[in-house]
Structures are given as structure tokens and as C-alpha cells.
Amino acid sequence: MPREGARIILGVGGGIAAYKSAELARLLVQRGYSVQAVMTHSATQFLTPLTLASLTHNKVITNLFAERDDSTATLSSAIEHIDVALENDLLVVAPATADLLAQFAHGLAGDFLTTMHLAFTGPVLLAPAMNTNMWNHAATQVNLKTLQQRGYHLVGPDAGDLACGMVGAGRLAEPLEIADAVTALLHQSLHQSRDLAGETILITAGPTQEAIDPVRVITNRSSGRMGYAIAEKAAARGARVILVSGPVALAPPMGVEVLRVESAEQMKNAVMANLEAASIFIGVAAVADYRPRHPADQKLKKTASRLSIELEPTTDILAEVGRQKGDRIVIGFAAETQNLAAEGKRKLELKHCDLVVANLVGLDGTGFESDENEVLLITRDAEPKAIPRAAKREIASRILDQIAPLRLSARARNA
């Protein structure tokens, strides 16, 4: 369903496919969106601003700095990039050239489009178009991956005959397909917007480190990406989010309170100190199950021919939260190497969870240290539901989608 009145920025890069952005502009206007076209300097070599101005019934921005020429179609001001960023709901870039992908990925701000892009906080849809070799270049692919990890959406490119005479991947997606992706994305952001407002979500993420001596630790391969993705998405959906994070190399997600810890004991203490405030607990951290019983005060010397380290169990934080559950929704994770559904179900019962997100670890490209995941959602009342392989941010959204139905079934059980 198109969202009448939504405000779209149409960014146009300098590629031969720029002529197709005129058709895209027409389709977007036809759907009732107001369209602000922004062209790079090279885009204007392929398509005149006047074409887009006529189709969008709006001036077209081509310059970062105020300038006045004989056409109001190219009028802009030095702070207009902030106004445009704040006033619009979605940024679609078609064609997104290799150069624009690189500038976006590296945060460069050399013209209006790239500067405004840095100030824009809404969803971004990229429709790349370029020569196949440019598309396949390692630099382009790395830039694309960076952008996708930041939650940018992609439509196309298609494979086929290219303007350069080559055949292969790199052709701009059809304008209708891009317009449909815009509509879907608007619908998604509208539908999901602020549905977690009023909730306080306490999340654990990352590994823990258990000291052997002052320089050595026992830890695991968790990157923290799944937990951070959930925290980021929950905050974007209006929740207050407290993220208790083990040592990871990730930037704090926007709008999230991050409490950094190292050991399982510190993680447990941080969780327990904040549990009262939380209406939802999500245990994503790969908490160490055992820790050295007597960590050495000084660095151990390699004099002995054998070394045994005695381990003792840590507290199971999720199980502890499950015991003090109250009205909270409690979600746990189960990283398994086999019997996913059965193990997930067992943990659901054992730890008093409402949902267990089970995933196989040891598979190529999913689980620990990966950008993607593939999970099974296990609840008390329904059959396990598989979420096929997708970016962790996408999986995070699907997990958060479960909260409303979980509340309903908890209410039904208690009624």
C-alpha cells in the first residue's frame, strides 16, 4: 500500500542509467509521494535538472553552496542539505554509481548528495548501476558490504546488456522494481515505527572473558553482532535499550545505553542491577559456562611441562532472569551444533523463556563472527518457525516482531 504524502529524496548519480531516473521520478510522483531530486554534477551531464524538475514539480538540487543562476531549478543554500535530510522519509539513489557507493561507505561529503546523505537518518535504498567489471571490483564489493552492514537496502543491479557493450551484472533495476522497493520500505518503516515505545529492553551481547592470570583469558568466538543488531533495531523502534556488552570491536548502536563488562560475573551483576527496570530481557551473549577457579595474581610462567587449570561453573544469567521473570518477556539464544529444535525446546523450558532463538554454529557463513544468520524460533505454543539465512539486522527485526504475539499468548495463559 503506497503511503500517500511520503517525502522521498531521489539521489541521481552520474551514469548512463541516469536517464531511467526520470521514469522513476514519474512513478514516485504517480504514487502520491513528494519527490526532491538531488543530482550529482556528473548526473547533470546525462540528464537535465529541468527534466526532473518538470516531472517532480519541484526544484532540483545540484549544488552544495548557495548559488543563483537563471533557473530556480538549481537553487540551493549552505544549510539546505540538513533541511532536506530532516524533512524527508526515505533516500533512494538511482543510479548509485561505484563512486557514490565509495563516498557513502567512507562518509565523504564533497557535494550536496553525499553531504545530505551523512545527515540523513531514515532508510536508504541504493539502486546500483555500472559496468560489470566495476561492479565486481573488490573495492566496490567491500563498499557495498560495508553499506549493507549499516542497514542500507539494495535493489538490483540486474544482469544483461550494458551500455558499455558488455553483458553481465550492473544494469540498473527497472524503475518499477525500484518504485516497488521504495513503497515496501516506506511501508516497513511506517509499520514498525515506534512499536516498542514504552518497553525497556535489557540485552546481553558478545563473549565474556574469564581471567586465567592478569594477561590471559578464556573466551569464545562471539562477535557481538547479533546482540548489537537487536539493540539497534529495538532502539529504532522506540524502546529504551540497555545493552550489557562483553568485549567486542563494535561501535555502540545509536540511542542505546551500553554497559561494558568483561567477565560472566560482571555481566550477571550488570544485568541484575538493571533487571527491575526491564520489561523484556534478551540474552544474546555467549557467556562462558566455566571460569578458572583460582585466577593467578601474577602472569604464569611456562616452566611446568603440563598445566591444568581448574574451572568452576559461572552463573547462568538467562536462567537466573527466568527464575525472577515476573511479567517480563524473556528471550534466550541457543547456539548448537546439532538437534537444534530439541535443544532449543529444552532450554526454553529449563530457563523459563518465552522464546528461544536457536542457530546452528559451525556452518559456513552463519553464526559466530558472521554478518548473516539462519535461525529457528522456538516458542511454547507454536511449531518452530525457521527464518532463512539473512543479514543479522534482518534477523534482529524478525525476532523483535515476535514480542507483540508473545505478549498476547502470555496474557492468554495468565487469563
Among 156, 292, 322, 332, binds ligand C5P (CB under 6 A): 332
The DSSP H or E segment spanning 221 is none
The C-alpha atoms of residue 332 and residue 285 are separated, in whole angstroms, by: 9
Minimum CB separation of residue 319 from ligand C5P in Å reads: 7
Cell 533557473 sits on residue: 71
CB 12 within 8 A of CB 94: yes
Quick one: which segment of 126-134, 159-167, 316-324, 376-384 binds ligand C5P (CB under 6 A)?
Answer: 316-324
Cis peptide leading into 95, omega within 30 of 0?
yes
CB 168 within 8 A of CB 184: no
Asked if 378 interacts with ligand C5P (CB under 6 A), we say no
Among 25, 212, 334, 358, binds ligand C5P (CB under 6 A): 334
If we measure between CA atoms, which residue out of 312, 242, 248, 252 comes closest to residue 283? 242
Quick one: which segment of 28-36, 302-310, 330-338, 374-382 binds ligand C5P (CB under 6 A)?
Answer: 330-338
CB 130 within 8 A of CB 140: yes
The catalytic residue among 164, 272, 341, 391 is 164
Among 185, 264, 348, 403, binds ligand C5P (CB under 6 A): 264
Quick one: which segment of 37-45, 100-108, 314-322, 359-367 binds ligand C5P (CB under 6 A)?
Answer: 314-322
The C-alpha atoms of residue 85 and residue 87 are separated, in whole angstroms, by: 6
Strand order in the sheet with 280-283: 257-260, 240-245, 200-205, 280-283, 329-336, 355-360, 372-379, 385-391
The C-alpha atoms of residue 100 and residue 12 are separated, in whole angstroms, by: 10
Asked if 330 interacts with ligand C5P (CB under 6 A), we say no
CB 159 within 8 A of CB 127: no
Asked if 37 interacts with ligand C5P (CB under 6 A), we say no
Asked if 314 interacts with ligand C5P (CB under 6 A), we say yes
CB 399 within 8 A of CB 235: no
**Choice between 189 and 220, CB closer to ligand C5P:** 220
Asked if 333 interacts with ligand C5P (CB under 6 A), we say yes
One symbol per residue from 267 to 306: x for binding ligand C5P (CB under 6 A), - otherwise; what is it? ----------------xxx-x-x-----------------
Residue 157 CA from chain centroid, whole number: 21
Q: Which three cell numbers stand for residue 94?
A: 538511482
Minimum CB separation of residue 129 from ligand C5P in Å reads: 43
**Choice between 34 and 274, CB closer to ligand C5P:** 274
Among this protein's residues, is 164 annotated catalytic?
yes
Asked if 347 interacts with ligand C5P (CB under 6 A), we say yes
Site for ligand C5P in 175-214 (CB under 6 A): 204
Minimum CB separation of residue 285 from ligand C5P in Å reads: 5
Q: How many C-beta neighbours within 10 Å does residue 210 have?
A: 24
Catalytic residue numbers read: 164
Binding residues for ligand C5P (CB under 6 A) = 204, 264, 283-285, 287, 289, 314, 316-318, 332-334, 347
